[in-house]
Structures are given as C-alpha cells and as structure tokens.
A and B are shown apart, each in its own frame.
Chain A
C-alpha cells in the first residue's frame, strides 16, 4: 500500500491497490468497472473509485482496517493513497476462466476479461432513459472501439441470448445496443482518418 500511496498515475495506483488486496483477502478480488474499462480500452475514463468483486468476510474487514482503509458508506477509503474501493458484488457476472492476471510491481492483479467487461458496459447502457447520449453508452462504445477485433463475438452473442431468455427486456436492449455500437465503430473505421 506504500507503493500505491506514492504512485502518481491514477490507473496504476488503483492497480497497485488491487494487487495489495489480492494479497490479503481470503478470496481473489477481481477488478471490474471503470478501472477495468480504462485498462482495457485506454480511454481516459477517470474512474472515481476502484470496483472489485470479492466476498468480504469479517476477518477481511479487520485486515482492510489494518491496511488503513476506513468505511465510508459503500466505500472503503484509503486515506494515504486516496483510493476509494467498492465491493459491488461477491463475484463477477461472467466467466471466471476469462479473468486476466498480470503483474504490477511485485503483485498480481486479477482483471475481468474483456468480453465480460463489454457485456457489463452494454447492460449498464440499457438503464438510461436516453441510452444513445449516456455515459454508459459512451463507455460501451469506447470498449468496442478500442478492442473491436479482440472481443469474442460468439461468446458475447451467446451471453446476450442467455440474458434474453431470463430477462427479455434487458437482453433485447443489449442486442440492439450491441448492433448500434458495432455499426458505429465499423463506420468510423471505414471512414478515412482525419
């Protein structure tokens, strides 16, 4: 955590905190949300917090306090590094086998896979009343644009199909947004660069 506190780059600081959490928590925390978006897409998303999925036991909470985290509403705030950590869920919504692991300094970060991040951004984009102009839509668009040829289409379409079966309204919105995003990305790539 000392390394994180002295790190000036915001994304790297968040990754260092994630690596530190992985060392102490009973179950591996997986980075999701804005930090994952900035990592995968290289967009200047300016995440406000560090979202990680992991179950938090009573012992984990004691360890967090010992590391210097204090509870503030839904966040655990680390004063020295100014990083706010949220645990939105106990596990990722997706395939654990697609989680990416990489070294940061002396630690390891577990990051939600690109395909599941894109699906998460699509799902988030179904919520706003005017989806096309929302931050959530821009997020999904950013991930698709930066990683267009790395996204596993078959997996994405299979997951959307499964969501359509259990949550028809959300699933069909995700499918429509996915089509719209892909069309827009393709159009932009085909157009000559300015």
Chain B
C-alpha cells in the first residue's frame, strides 16, 4: 500500500516498490516501454506521474499501489518511529554533555541519572 500526503513523495515510494520487486530502473522502463531517464525523473520527484502511469507501474512491478490523497499524516507509534531512527541513525547516540550544559542543566541531567560516564562508553 502506498499512502502519501504530498504528491512529491510518490517518487521515493515508487523507487522503494521497484527495488522490492527486484527491478532496475532500466528493467522497469522496458516493461513500461519508456526510458530509464523517465523512471529516474519520476523517482527523484522531477516528474509527477499521472494516475494512468502509476497504474501501469503497479502492473509492471506486479503489485497494487494504493494512493491516499489529502492529509494522511497520522503519526506513527513511538516504537515505529524508533525503528525508523535505528535504520537511519544506526548506533548514533545523542550525548547531552556534548551540548555544554550549564550548571543547572547539569544538575537536571544528573538528577535523572544521565551522567557523563553513561555516555562516554
């Protein structure tokens, strides 16, 4: 299923679906009787595909694409957001001590057990 709140986001989602289908841009282009450059333009948001083209893409990759237009900005759960963070940030950890906390900020951090040592390992 494809859910979007902004038409400019369709390109990256088509790219994701194409990759999941194991197709290169050239292979998808061949199935659609178009050029690799045209697919690249769609995926990078430089060209907005019509509904007819989206339907043809869905057939070409062998799975339906459901589009929700309008405000589909339902927030993800905390767990879902954290999973996304893990995928993008990897092992990166925010260290509050890197932000040169003032004495009262230090007191606040320490009260919650957020010691300097906890982040230095």
Q: Which residues of chain B come closer than 8 Å to A83, judged between CB atoms?
A: 108
User: Which label, helix, strand, loop or mixed, suits the secondary structure of the B interface?
Assistant: helix
Partner of B19, one of A49, A72, A144, A190: A190
Taking CB atoms, residues of chain B closer than 8 Å to A105 are none
**A residues less than 8 Å from B96 (CB atoms):** 46-48
Q: How large is the interface on A (under 10, 10 to 19, 20 to 34, 35 or more residues)?
A: 35 or more
Q: Give chain B residues whose Cβ lies under 8 Å from the Cβ of A47.
A: 96
Do residues B85 and A82 form an inter-chain contact, with CB atoms below 8 A? no
Decide if A150 is an interface residue (CB 8 Å cutoff). yes
Q: Which residues of B contact A73 (CB under 8 A)?
A: 102, 104
Whether B47 sits at the interface, judged by CB under 8 Å, is no
Q: Are B15 and A190 interface neighbours, CB within 8 A?
A: yes
Residues of A with C-beta under 8 A to B15: 186, 190
* Given contact pairs A141-B89, A145-B87, A145-B88, A46 touches B102 in the complex (Cβ within 8 A): no
Please tell me if B4 contacts chain A, counting CB pairs below 8 Å.
yes
Most chain B beta-carbon neighbours within 10 Å: one of A44, A144, A145: A145
B101 → chain A closest CB, angstroms: 5
